[in-house]
């Protein structure tokens, strides 16, 4: 692997965040292990770090809920110093209650910024126990998961998704209410077709880049093939982008009667399905065992970390919450080795500090009981 530029968190300060009135920690670039009993705030620290990327963080919580419950009339704030490509970088974010609307404020090196701009600075990947059901839950959850990973590579992708969702909702409302204004519907369907093709092309391009990393041998972890299936994908495979767009618009127009009864749209980028195949046993991920699914998910996350490091030449920060829960000893050891080999800052949590013993020499252990 080529030499990647370092990006790691040096100090983290929390104020009124979840169970912490205030917390101030300083860490090295090495893997960081946060061990302790349930409810002590391990995941809260990972959640705080995840909020240095755009969006609602790894728990997807509303901003107001994050605030420490016994604090009145104050917002929550987090601030971190990073080493970013050998330069100092300071990012602060939080909920400012002095404004009427509940919005997250973001400052980069003391200057007001936007959530979207965070993506230009820091890339953060995470795995949480909630994601263990990724292959069992519906295709919408899986699609959102892959789209979120994709946005790390192509921030424009989120704009395409937003514009597509807008046109889809507008068209659905018109059809639901029987407003059959042909011109209005045609304009919305044109937008849906344009954005569908752009979204699907992005997804296919991302998967083709990712696949090479998914097939790399990591001892003890399954190799994976990820594919994307749906009507839009078929249109793109069989036609040029312009023709695919026209065909899709025609199909949307033909489906109006059906969609007005069934709701939504039968065709479009929101109907694409990400299929994950375990190449070792040639089985779809949803029929694999719980432990196997955890390993598949980890393979995906690690492959994304390697792809990010390769494409952007900047190391992502990895947040792994209770990650070793379903892994056998051999896989745990392989995972730790892989983390050390990648050389990216990784944050791991767990209730049992003993399972992290192999990282004792190279890792930095934080015991929240002592704070």
Binding site for other proteins (CB under 8 A): 100, 155-156, 159, 162-163, 166-167, 169-171, 173-174, 177, 179, 181, 183-184, 186-188, 190-191
Smallest distance, Å, CB 289 to other proteins? 42
Which of 187, 353 has the CB closer to other proteins?
187
Tokens of 188: 């919305």
Which of 184, 365 has the CB closer to other proteins?
184
Which of 53, 79 has the CB closer to other proteins?
53
Smallest distance, Å, CB 25 to other proteins? 33
Which of 176, 371 has the CB closer to other proteins?
176
DSSP H or E stretch at residue 226: strand 224-229
Tokens of 20: 């912490």
How far is it, in rounded angstroms, from Cα 276 to Cα 143? Answer: 11
Q: How many Cα atoms are found within 13 Å in the side-chain-facing hemisphere of 174?
A: 20
How far is it, in rounded angstroms, from Cα 239 to Cα 204? Answer: 15
Concatenate the DSSP letters of all residues of 84-129 into one string: ETTEEEEEEEEE-TTSSS--EEEEETTEEE-HHHHHHH--EEEE-G
Which of 145, 166 has the CB closer to other proteins?
166
60 contacts: CB under 8 Å, gap ≥ 6: none
How far is it, in rounded angstroms, from Cα 243 to Cα 239? Answer: 6
* Buried/exposed code over 317-353 (b: 16+ C-beta within 10 A; e: otherwise): bbbbbbbbebbeeebbebbbebbbebbbbbbbbbeee
Which of 43, 265 has the CB closer to other proteins?
265
Smallest distance, Å, CB 179 to other proteins? 6
Which of 209, 337 has the CB closer to other proteins?
209
CA distances from 287 to 73, 133, 284 (A): 49, 12, 6
Tokens of 275: 């299929």
Smallest distance, Å, CB 263 to other proteins? 14
Q: Mapping DSSP to helix (H, G, I), strand (E, B) and coil, where does residue 190 land?
A: helix
Cβ pair 12, 25 in contact under 8 A: yes
Which of 101, 354 has the CB closer to other proteins?
101
| Opening angle at CA 47, ends 45 and 49, nearest 5 | 75
Which of 209, 211 has the CB closer to other proteins?
209
Q: Are strands 364-367 and 273-278 parallel, antiparallel or unpaired?
A: unpaired
Q: Give the length of the chain.
A: 371
Smallest distance, Å, CB 108 to other proteins? 13
Smallest distance, Å, CB 284 to other proteins? 35
Cα 259 off chain centre by: 31
Smallest distance, Å, CB 73 to other proteins? 13
Smallest distance, Å, CB 331 to other proteins? 39
Smallest distance, Å, CB 182 to other proteins? 9
């Amino acid at each position: 692997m080529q030499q990647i530029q370092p990006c790691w968190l040096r100090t983290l300060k929390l104020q009124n965040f979840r169970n912490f009135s205030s917390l101030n920690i300083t860490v090295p670039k090495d893997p960081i292990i946060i061990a302790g009993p349930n409810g002590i705030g391990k995941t809260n620290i990972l959640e705080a770090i995840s909020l240095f990327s755009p969006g609602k963080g790894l728990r997807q919580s509303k901003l107001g809920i994050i605030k420490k419950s016994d604090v009145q009339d104050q917002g929550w704030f987090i601030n971190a110093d990073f080493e970013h490509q050998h330069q100092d970088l300071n990012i602060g974010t939080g909920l400012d209650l002095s404004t009427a609307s509940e919005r997250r404020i973001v400052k980069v090196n003391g200057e007001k910024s936007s959530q979207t701009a965070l993506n230009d600075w820091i890339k953060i990947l995470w795995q949480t126990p909630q994601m263990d059901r990724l292959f069992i839950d519906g295709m919408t959850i899986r699609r959102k998961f892959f789209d979120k990973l994709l946005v790390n590579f192509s921030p424009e992708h989120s704009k395409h998704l937003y514009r597509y969702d807008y046109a889809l909702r507008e068209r659905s409302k018109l059809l639901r209410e029987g407003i059959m204004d042909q011109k209005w519907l045609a304009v919305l369907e044109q937008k849906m077709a344009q954005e569908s093709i752009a979204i699907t092309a992005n997804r296919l391009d991302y998967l083709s880049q990712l696949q090479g990393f998914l097939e790399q041998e990591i001892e003890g972890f399954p190799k994976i093939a990820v594919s994307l299936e749906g009507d839009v994908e078929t249109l793109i495979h069989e036609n040029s982008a312009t023709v695919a767009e026209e065909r899709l618009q025609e199909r949307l127009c033909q489906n109006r009667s059906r969609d007005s009864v069934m709701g939504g749209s039968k065709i479009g980028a929101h109907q694409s399905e990400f299929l994950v195949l375990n190449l070792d046993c040639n089985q779809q991920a949803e029929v694999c065992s719980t432990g196997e699914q955890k390993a598949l998910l980890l393979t995906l996350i690690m492959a994304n970390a390697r792809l990010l490091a390769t494409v952007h030449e900047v190391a992502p920060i990895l947040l792994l919450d209770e990650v070793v829960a379903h892994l056998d000893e051999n896989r745990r050891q392989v995972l730790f080795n892989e983390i050390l080999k990648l050389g990216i800052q990784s944050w791991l949590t767990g209730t049992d500090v003993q399972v992290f013993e192999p990282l004792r020499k190279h890792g930095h252990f934080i015991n929240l009981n002592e704070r």
